[in-house]
Structure 1
Amino acid sequence: MIVNQERDAMKGLWSDLSAEVRKLSIKETVYVLVATFLTLILLLVCLAVYSARGQHAYHEKLDISARAALNIERVNALIYAAVMESRGIYMSTDRAKAKSFGDSLLKRNREIERVVAEWEQIVSDDDAAQFAVFKKRIDQFVGFRDELVRRARTIDPAAGREWGDNDANRTVRIALNEDLETLAKVYASRAKDVAELGKHGELVSWYLIALGIAAMAMAAFVALLILKSIVRPLSDITQTTDRIASGKIKLAIPHINRQDEIGHLARAVRNFQDAVGQIEELQEQNLALEGEREVVAKARDSLEDKFHTKKWQLDAAINNMAQGLVMLDRSGGIVLVNDQYRKMYRLPPEVIRPGCSLKDILKHRAQIGLFTGDIDGYMSMILTRIAERKPAVHDIDLADGRIISVSERAMDGGGWVATHQDITIQRQIMKALERTEQFLATVIENVPEAIIAKRARDLKYVFVNRAAEILYGLPRSEIIEKTAHDLFPKQTAELIERHDKQLLAENREIEAGTHTIETPGNGVRIVSVKRLPIAGKDGGSHFLLSMIEDHTHLNSSAA
């Protein structure tokens, strides 16, 4: 019962909405629909821009947090290494050994200074004060160790031990550890903020999905509305007109009470029905009463007026086309040109006159700089096309920068018709897209990470960037169309093939993992690989994309 009530309510709502739509003209209906779509598109664009900015902020904060956390580990390890080198000096009695430990200690000091300098580049408001304290203690620590090395070298190891093995040195080390712990807490808090920002981005993504669904629902609603309010009524009127034309005059004209263009069309069909009926009546009267020819003549005059009206309507439709239109006879004479064609080529009334030809138009275009080349040769080419009745499509580049697309074809009964459309803006958009594609290709070629792509069916390399050539130690000409077994030692090739097959089986992105591989021409490298499948129209993986970061130098520094 409740379901039936809801169904009846929906039917009633639809009927009311359809009635309101019928009160609008077709032009007003189109305006309403376009405005609605533009509003939805604007919302989607605004939300997409907001989401892109949020994602940029999220990735930027995530990168800074990760680098800061890594810096804590690097400094901690270097401080520990410096302390160990200092103890080597303390425990050495031989000046040569003390000098060796001193050289290593100075190297660690420079590494600490370099890491702290890099760290200082990413300091934010939340860790600036603590970092300033930390940097001051680092300067004390490094200066203390440099003086330790100087004394051990210039005096003796005992003097270095006397300078370094004291409570002041230990106090600085303890303070440094406390500073690192405090900074770690700051970065832990920052990581929580980044996580919250990621959740917010996920929520915005859901909003985008919801708006997309709403746009699809709106499109379905618009299609149904157009079907019921415009397409079906036009079909009904067309069928009725065909039946009237076939001789069935006494028919009810559908949608005649509508107040929009559909109603106007229906009433025009009724007028046509009345006119056809009048013609039949006049024919019957002419057969019965020859004396009523004057009445028939008046009716014929009325029909001629309607014919001229229809002809005027046809001329109006042709002159309001978005494209320029020109019709030629077999000899290249002008049969018809519309207003858009005149405006497109700046043709004054004295050029388009009775008996003029396409050659006259070309001469005028040459005079005003809108045609270059051999006029007679161009006319010969056009007349050849007319004779052969072969359609053609080509573009014309005008001297003022416009690009005109010309579509030509033969007319029934002889002659030639061509439409001219200004496609300058479309071509500019295409060129902008091509520049964007070139820019993206340049970016991919110059990113520091190695990017490779393989065909899923045979696991052969189909693309590598410059960073991949450096990582593998081979030019791309020796990599493309090769498998891992063609390039790598057996153990590395089997590892790569196993991961590729796992990616094909799971058909989803696989997070980065760290592996040790032996490259063809760059030795043993420690890499982090992120893999994802690229699906085709059938949903299956057509290509496998891998993004590889070389961490060999990081591990060497940590060691």
Structure 2
Amino acid sequence: MARGADTLTVAEKVYSIAAFLAIVTAFLLVMSVQSVRLQTTYRHMHASAAEAAINVGRINALIYAIVMESRGIYMSADRGATKQFADGLMRRNGELAEAVKSLERTVGDDDAEQLATFRQRIVQFIEFRRELVRRGLEISPAAAREWGDNDANRTVRRKLNSDVEALERIYQQRAREADALANENRYAAAYLFALGLAALILAGLNVVVMRGSVVGALADITQATDRIAQGDVKSEVPHLGRHDEIGRLARAVQNFRDAVARIFQLEELELGTAQARDAAMTERDKFNDKYQAKKWQLSAAINSMPQGLIMLDGKATVVAMNSNYRQMYNLPETIQAGSTLEEILQHRVKTGLFNGDVAKYVAAVLGRIARREPAAYEIALNDGRTIRIYERPMDGGGWVSVQEDVTEQRQRERLLERMERFLATIIENVAEGIIAKDARNLRYVFVNKAAEKMIGMSRGEIIGKTARELFSAEAAALIERRDQQLLAQKQQLEPIIDTIDNPSRGRRVISARRVQIGGANEESHMFVTMVEDRTEAMVAAA
């Protein structure tokens, strides 16, 4: 698989991963639609089964109630008593007819035949009970008993019971089918999770491919180019075996290296004849022009850096430096490539930009070069500037140092730190309680000492909690209502006086002003409340 991947171009790798990611996304969409469909079917089946089960239970109860009313008619001694039971029976008959109609709205096509038979028996049952009422009222309770208390009536009742049991079994089965659909939906959720995980893996793979195939390879080729520019024409150019764009770039660098090596060879050759010498010089000049062009491009790139850069060899001799480094230390034109680090430090001593031991400093740099030990540190110049220095070894025993003037950055950091300490001192020592609350979740994020004293709790007990976790339900509701008013008004500079039950200090009269910091879409959206406890003042005034 690795050999096959090497034959692909970088674009093909990236597009392949993007295609797989698109496929996984499509599967995610399909599974999402399937999950919604299953969920909708489940809700419909579950709702219809529940409603039908309720209707069946209601019908069963009404049948039982009608039978009880019928027995009341049987046992009545006169028509007056019969009338009471007859009215109840007729009312139950109407409710039974309505319950059957409700049941019909929930049945499916496969239940239609079963319900049709059941509906006929219900109609027969209702008509039979109407006749029972008529006989009990118009003739006598005995005539009603003779009409209703017989085997034919009991047979109809048994069949109705059997129909009700059959319908209950049907809707129990539907409930089980709905549960099975719920299980399928859980599987769909698992598939969605797996597809989402696959999408994340593909996204990570894309990052790995870009880093391994492009970023790292370009860094390797850049280092190889630096070595060639320094005259190391025997070093190997990495990634020559790749068949993508990086491989073509590596082969171009190899051609450049071969060209430079050829120049060196031509310089070492002593041609026997003037014609051969002229030809060799012509070829050398051609390749030298290419070399100078590449060297000029490299020099332009170095000089365009916003930081100062200096490159040293293994003996602390300057290989290259850019203009920003010269400006940083005000170096004269006499210090060029080929000068030593010691000469640069001696000049800095003369200009007051270095006051250490030059020999020890150079020895320390040579030690880091020998150990190939990278370093990062800051130095303070006598003119007040702060310089951040990054050092790292180069292949071939050299050393590169990137230096950046961070004076303004450090000044801003110190100013910000002083301002923070200043504001914290003021806030902690004002007599007015200051409370800050996250507007997104209404949790307390800051209280000063005065607020701790007013609330009667330490800030460790307050920070991170809401008003409902600290105060009574009534007090919390009042605080939340004031917060909503602040959201609507933006600012509340005029004080509002409220009476709040404090869990630690009892009923307190407070005066509060509120302001908003930030907006609803900002992470720093906060409420700041300035609170003054006026309880004692109110008591004194009373």
What is the TM-score when the length of structure 2 is the normalising length? 0.46
Higher Cα Rg: structure 1 or 2?
2
